[in-house]
């Protein structure tokens, strides 16, 4: 299988060492994609987040003129590791690993590092890493892909719970990116369980925070209508819009980021 020209130009793991040195001299921003391996309904592959991290990061790198690292494949799936194939990495270990990878790339000479998070639960670890690296004077920012994709899909969905795990939005995007891996014949239109609404009413950032796990949210690891509403056409449109918005954020962040000079007291 041949590597696409765009991937070869942007993915640092597909470059030789001399080619990487030349690319780094031309581009000071690296995207670090982070995925997961987890149950995402009966229709989506276990590597849904990893597939998105792999494919969308290349599109984003091209749009925002960045280089991109090979995706980190596993993540924090603590709330949903009850189904076969789901792989969980504790947040402290995940954070240490992500930080080590990030510092290795920063040591190479990158001025800016974009954490491209394709599994929202990983943001807990990424947030702490970014706070530390920023304190040390590095240029870091983070993108929560599924929130960006959700924003892109607002007003264009046609189901009751389009933003559910494995629901209309996620399934549509996978149909656009990797249709050969989708099993839509096995898809179920499953409403969420009452536990989801209870936890969602008290999220992080509010005065009173409630906690739960996916057994309280759904029966199969996913919820939302997909069989008659998910489509590759929708997914492609939402990917394009979310990539455009993400690239705009990167450009704005790079242009306006203040130089942070460590001070010693």
**Strands lying side by side in the sheet with 29-34:** 67-68, 29-34, 112-117, 139-144
Does residue 30 fall inside a structural domain?
yes
What percent of the chain has a predicted confidence (pLDDT) above 70?
94
Instruction: Give the Cα separation of 48 and 38 in Å (integer).
Output: 8
Residue 3 has pLDDT above 80, yes or no: no
Q: What is the pLDDT of residues 140-176, one digit of tens each?
A: 999 999 999 999 999 999 999 999 999 999 999 999 9
Residue 226 has pLDDT above 80, yes or no: yes
For 107, residues 6+ apart whose C-beta sits below 8 A from its C-beta are none
Does residue 186 fall inside a structural domain?
yes
CB atoms within 10 A of CB 8: 12
Does residue 214 fall inside a structural domain?
yes
Residue 259 has pLDDT above 90, yes or no: no
Predicted pLDDT at 106: 97
Does residue 261 fall inside a structural domain?
no
Residue 29 has pLDDT above 70, yes or no: yes
CATH number at residue 141: 3.40.50.10310
> What is the residue range of 165's domain?
5-256
Does residue 263 fall inside a structural domain?
no
Instruction: Give the Cα separation of 163 and 170 in Å (integer).
Output: 7
Q: What is the pLDDT of residues 38-95, one digit of tens each?
A: 999 999 999 999 999 999 999 999 999 999 999 999 999 999 999 999 999 999 999 9
The number of domains in the chain is 1
Does residue 264 fall inside a structural domain?
no
Predicted pLDDT at 264: 38
């Amino acid at each position: 299988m041949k590597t696409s020209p765009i991937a070869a130009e942007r993915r640092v793991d597909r470059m030789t060492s001399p080619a990487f040195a030349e690319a780094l001299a031309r581009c000071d921003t690296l995207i670090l994609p982070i995925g997961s391996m987890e149950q995402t309904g009966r229709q989506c592959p276990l590597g849904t987040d990893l597939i998105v991290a792999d494919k969308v990061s290349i599109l984003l790198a091209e749009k925002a003129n960045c280089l991109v690292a090979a995706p980190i494949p596993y993540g924090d799936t603590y709330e949903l590791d009850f189904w076969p194939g789901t792989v969980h990495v504790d947040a402290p270990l995940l954070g240490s690993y992500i930080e080590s990878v990030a510092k290795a790339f920063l040591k190479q000479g990158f001025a800016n590092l974009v954490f491209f998070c394709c599994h929202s639960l990983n943001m807990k670890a990424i947030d702490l890493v970014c706070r530390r690296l920023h304190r040390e004077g590095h240029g870091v920012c983070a993108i929560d892909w599924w929130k960006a994709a959700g924003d892109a899909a607002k007003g264009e969905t046609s189901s009751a719970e389009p933003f559910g795990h494995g629901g209309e939005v996620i399934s549509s995007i996978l149909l656009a990116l990797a249709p050969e891996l989708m099993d839509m014949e096995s898809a179920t239109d499953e409403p969420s369980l009452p536990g989801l609404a209870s936890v969602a009413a008290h999220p992080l950032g509010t005065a009173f925070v409630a906690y739960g796990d996916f057994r309280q949210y759904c029966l199969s690891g996913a919820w939302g209508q997909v069989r008659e509403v998910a489509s590759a056409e929708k997914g492609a449109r939402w990917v394009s819009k979310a990539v455009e918005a993400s690239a705009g954020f990167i450009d704005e962040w790079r242009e306006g980021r203040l130089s942070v000079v460590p001070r010693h007291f």
